[in-house]
Amino acid sequence: MKKLINAPEAVLADALSGIAAAHPSLKVDAENRVIARASGTKPGKVALVSGGGSGHEPLHGGFVGRGMLDAACAGEVFTSPVPGQMLTAAQAVDGGAGVVFIVKNYTGDVLNFQMAAELAVEEGITVETVLVDDDVAVQDSTYTAGRRGTGATVFVEKIAGALAEQGADLAAVAEMAKRVNASSRSFAVALTACTTPASGKPGFDLPEDEMEVGVGIHGEPGRRREKLRPAREIVATALDAILGDQPLDAGDETIVMVNGLGGTPLIELYVVFNEVAAALADKGVVIARNLVGNYVTSLDMAGVSLTVCKADADMLSLWDAPVNTPALRWGS
């Protein structure tokens, strides 16, 4: 295993300490592994809390800041945070208007956020939970009952975060988060497996000329193994799966993310985006906004995920609203 770390068991604490040192706009509770805005929550603002296993950076800590999350809970690598962390986060950021938990659909995350929601209610905090389950590759997987939550998390956090910033109430923010999830579909392909610090070896074997089609962000199996194909054909496969599940018509506006899984260089992501843009243009589908880069990663996995959100005017307007986080920043 080749990693820039001190020791496998120190990775999360060291990285959180690095995040704290790099970003004065964030306040890192090292003991509880909660990353929150240093500025706190404005009274009356709905607070957004997310979290999950580490190894997907910048998700979620990199999306904490004005216009997006209020706090993120970091679990160990590929391991859900525990309810106590989520409760701590909710208590730290509740501004009296309630808290939205944004939960990627993995069994551990779902159970732990559910327990945290019950604990929070006991503490007098109103909580709405939004499940993200955008991955169309498989129905169930190693980590999940139902569809996995992946790239749409970024769209949900950005758009619902902007609405909360504008002063919307808890029900409205949760409703928008659910709408964004319901409008989004994702599909990923891996060229290599990722290696967790704890295991020290790749999570699966993938021959030198094959790819895993429909992979999950922890290296869970996808739909099938295939010979590696040109980017154009990989994009066609991903778009077939996405549009097969949510058809788009000519004139529909979308937000598209071409996301690197951690070990894929940016030049390849632009090659992929070029194919996505051409394929959608052929159908008359408009890419109104886009992200090309590393947003929801799987440690050092080489590969790409594609997320397409069918966006209405409200979503686009909220997308354009100011955001100031380590990983997304504009208009501010």
Q: Residue 293 to residues 97, 147, 189, 304: CA-CA distances in angstroms?
A: 34, 23, 15, 10
113 binds a copy of itself (CB under 8 A): no
Q: How far is Cα 135 from Cα 137, in angstroms, rounded to an integer?
A: 6
Q: Which two tokens stand for residue 200?
A: 């020290």
- Closer residue to a copy of itself in complex, CB, 167/200: 200
Asked if residue 313 binds a copy of itself (CB under 8 A), the reply is: no
Per annotation, catalytic residue among 148, 185, 218, 289: 218
The span of 18-26, 64-72, 90-98, 106-114 binding a copy of itself (CB under 8 A) equals: 18-26
Piece in contact with a copy of itself (CB under 8 A), picked from 117-125, 132-140, 167-175, 289-297? 289-297
**DSSP of 147-206, one letter per residue?**
SPP-THHHHHHHHHHHHHHTT--HHHHHHHHHHHHHTEEEEEEESS--B-TTT-SBSS--
User: Are 81 and 33 within 8 A, CB to CB?
Assistant: yes
Interacting span for a copy of itself (CB under 8 A) from 128-136, 160-168, 180-188, 285-293: 285-293
Identify whether 23 is a catalytic site residue.
no
CA terminus-to-terminus distance, the chain: 40
Residues 72-101 close enough to bind a copy of itself by CB under 8 A = 77
Q: Between 94 and 300, whose beta carbon lies closer to a copy of itself?
A: 300
Q: How far is the CB of 138 from a copy of itself (least distance, A)?
A: 21
- Helix 313-320 vs helix 170-182: angle between axes, to the nearest 10 degrees? 110
Assess whether 56 carries a catalytic annotation.
yes
294 binds a copy of itself (CB under 8 A): yes
- Ramachandran region of residue 146, left (φ > 0), alpha (ψ -120 to 50) or beta? left
Does 6 bind a copy of itself (CB under 8 A)? Our answer is yes
Which amino acids are annotated catalytic?
A: 56, 218
Please give the residue ranges that form the binding site for a copy of itself (CB under 8 A): 2-7, 11, 14-19, 21-22, 54-55, 57-58, 62, 77, 191-192, 208, 211, 228, 230-232, 234, 262-275, 277-278, 287, 290, 292, 294, 297, 299-300, 302-304, 329-332
